Structure 1
Amino acid sequence: MSTPLSSAQTRFLRGMAHGLRAMIQVGGKGVTENLVAELDLALEHHELVKVRVAGAEREERDAMIARLAEQTGAALVQRIGHTAVFYRQSREHREIVLPR
């Protein structure tokens, strides 16, 4: 489980994520074990990852985003439309230093 982010940390991460492109896209199959493993690997290497979620209904997209956050132990930084930003501190490649 991830630790909750403060509002200052969330603002900081949103600013960093602004220029990022979506690294992972959730397709028609939804959240699969392979997708979770890929996101887990991306979070370990990059710490901040933007994910594009396809889905017809908002509730369906929200459920997929919540499931991704839960299964990877990542914090949801931001969600706008079909795009979500996740953050998880890397165990070995820590690059992002969060403000207090």
Structure 2
Amino acid sequence: MNLRGKQKRFLRSKAHGLNPIFQVGKDGFSEIWLEEVDKALDRRELIKVNILQNSLVETDELKAFIEENSSINVVQIIGNVLVLFKVSSSQKHRQISDEVKSI
């Protein structure tokens, strides 16, 4: 799903109060890590990911990996925190995406 400016702004406002639930440490990331993020997004639709200070991973590198290997949208990057969005495959978990579509 390609997001327009107003949709991204709405998602950023929704993500403001969220705490990061995934972290990238010194071991970096992998396909398995991305699968777990994808599962979490399938239930929540909007999450934050934190890159720890001791990590050798750059935010642009992680963003490129996520966008190339999945259908996850990177909504915003703030320092070492990424805001991720994906429409849930389950209809009962589609609360945020229904609001986004109406914008």
Q: What is the TM-score normalised by the length of structure 1?
A: 0.86
Matches within 5 A, 1:32-43: 32-43=30-41
1:23-80, CA deviations, whole angstroms, 9 ceiling, x for partnerless residues? 10011111112211110111100000100023457xx321112212332311111101
Q: What is the TM-score normalised by the length of structure 2?
A: 0.84
Alignment RMSD: 1.5
Match of 1:62, SS state, is helix
Distance in structure 1 (CA, Å) of the matches to 2:27 and 2:14? 29
Richer in helix (by share): 2
2:94 aligned residue: 94
Matches within 5 A, 1:37-76: 37-54=35-52, 55-56=55-56, 60-76=58-74
Distance in structure 2 (CA, Å) of the matches to 1:34 and 1:50? 18
Distance in structure 2 (CA, Å) of the matches to 1:34 and 1:56? 18
Distance in structure 1 (CA, Å) of the matches to 2:48 and 2:67? 12
Q: Percent identity of the aligned residues?
A: 38
